[in-house]
Structure 1
Amino acid sequence: MSENFLPYGRHWIDEDDIAAVAECLRGDWLTTGPAVEVFEAAFAEVVGARYAVVVSNGTVALHLAALAAHVGAGDIGIAPTMSFLASANGMHYTGAEIVFADADPRTGLITPATFQAAIEQAAKPVKMAVVVHLNGNAVNMPEIARIAAEHNIILVEDACHALGTTYRDGGGAVVKVGASRHSAMTVFSLHPVKTITMGEGGVITTSDPLLYERLKLLRSHGMLKASEKFLNKDLAFAHTGEANPWYYEMQELGFNYRASDFACVLAHSQLRKLSTFAERRAQLKDIYDLQFGDIGDLVEPLRIEASIEPVLHLYPLLIDFAAIGKERASVMSELREHGIGTQVHYIPIHRQPYYVEQSGAFDLPGADAYYAKALSIPYYPLMTDLDAERVARTIKRVLGING
């Protein structure tokens, strides 16, 4: 195997990131300290939201979003099948039944038509829907939001791939993914292979003050410290009428989904470099678009609408393995021997045995078609132009394609 191995994704940690974390470790707070709120404020400003709540990972963020929306047993939630498991699991943890929405076979995205079809397939009114900005490409949020409003569906954007992505709404205005312009909440992941990282981490953004307070409450065991809301007056207050300084109350079940200060310090340091990361990702995208954009239908780059300015997390190719006459597994193995790491994003969730048992079989041909062709190739800011050109050249050679 080549010594210069290029994985499909990789974090970029600089000495300034390390120095920031080291300074935090030498300080007074390792968790539940001031760095958490500082990062939350910075993140909200970057994505154009009123509030941000940082949590321990992206899956937790999806779970908290469902809890904040009061989704529970007996409710129905819609999730796109073309995503990571967490997009469905977050709602299902609350007891909700999941109805899966199909995807556009060229982009993997949920569409207004597949969203409407999922609503019609549900046995009763849908409480909440998660829509995923897969790969960093944006869903048609204005139209999805219009349909959701018609059916009183709480809409949550899964933007775990899409930090930095913008799109134009129907009026031509630029909307930042994360501003929650067309949704109740937006969820991000800060896993190591994402655009920025905090090791493991997640963020929920919203502009709804009630959702914001509920998210913070549920993030930390449901512990309430606002004296005007205490229910147990005998325990809460001294004879003077003042609230006991140690007192807290749990009025509903919450979770320990907090993030540490040093993780937030790392994420804040990374956030300052978001524009640099985004610019480099765009440059690599341009190289791949040029290399794969005109070699025929056997290999196609990701299709992105002109109204979208993506910061891609992944760069998938759609490869017609059947027409080429090679199985995907053998192509991946051969590429690996040449030092090129690849991955498949994702196995459609509706194909997972657990959900087949829970919800029955779904016929979602768009997602199946996308899955059959998808292959994520190396794509991360530390790559050089020569790295990207080598990736493209090697893929063409392994597939037997001239171009």
Structure 2
Amino acid sequence: MRAAQRSKKGFDVQSAAMAATHTDVIIIGAGAAGLMCAAEAGAGGARVLVLDHANKVGKKILMSGGGRCNFTHLHSGPENFIGHNPHFCKSALSRYTPYDFLDLVERHGIAYEEKTPGQLFCQNSAKDIVQMLLAECRSGGAQIRLRTEIEAIDWQKPFHLKTSLGKLSCDTLVIATGGYSVPSMGASGFGYELARRLGINVHTTRPGLVPFTLPPKLLASLATLSGISLAASVRTADAFFQENILFTHRGLSGPGVLQASSYWHEDEAVAIDLWPQADLLTQLATQREQRPRMSLKNFLATLWPRRLAEHWCTHYVHDKPLNQLTVEDLKQLQNHCQPWTIKPAGTEGYRTAEVTVGGVDTDAFSSKTLACKQLPGLYFIGEVLDVTGHLGGHNFQWAWASAVAAGQAITA
């Protein structure tokens, strides 16, 4: 973040009416991208006003990472993002890296930890990240108004907004409204509707990083496995992830499933290797030579949690001593484990989805500045665009990087 280039201005978070109707920059959305852009533009000398209909800033930040915010991934790069134009995110990500954000975190004295390789979390609370962003906004003099509804926008420059605060105007308008994910936190399709009104294409959206639900019969058969987690690999038609899966009372979750869900389309099958470490039959052959009287269930229990081993022997392959397994038994075992192929009934939807896949077509924007090509002064940043990251802090990194790119362009 650049140092402030002017004296400190007043700052508060409230819903009172503004004294002035015109400001340099209005940002709609007080989430990760919106706050970061406000801080950057404010540090560059712009008068910034952030508007949000919610009663609190950074709600999704606060709930992320189990309340500890997986705020970036040290190895985040273009290969960790999906969208119709996979090259669009490259410029912003290369100019504001995870280490740039980490430097900001360290300057604010926020304790953090690397839980799994590359994934950084707050040691204490996600509130630390929100307070850091607010402090940066305060340093740049950004104003934030909550509980504010946008009733109409006049797209003639300067932009005129009719809001529940009254009539406001600005030279630059930034849309940082996010996607549909977690509507209980106030998520909506506001940004998508704005884009459509301007004639900008919006790619079909769907929930991403979301658990799978299963058909009733299969779900009932797996009821005793709820809570079991194990290493696996998950493959869809377009992607492959080797991470843990979790059996739940609704279906399947865990990192491997969440990752795959962003690539999954309705009616597609998903292939899950329940023992990705090695070929199951090779290991079984070795055990059969060493312990021929060992039961299949006990053998599987050396690989998986016992409840899973018992379930597989009950539903797919009869339990018997290893030296009594036939060629057909072996084929059946492998067919149901490497991979175990299922067809999800669907997903848990936006209610639990961490992100929205799809969104505003990036072809309408500059990859360097995030500015709208057809309407100077308009910017779209963050999740509202058709840029979706993998699990593990990548979506936050896109929020930070796209916000900084826009903020710097606004004040250049």
TM-score > 0.5, shorter chain as reference? no
TM-score tier by shorter-chain length is: under 0.3
Which one has the bigger helix percentage? 1
Which one has the bigger strand percentage? 2
* Larger of the two Rg values belongs to structure: 2
TM-score, with normalisation over the residues of structure 2? 0.23
TM-score, with normalisation over the residues of structure 1? 0.23
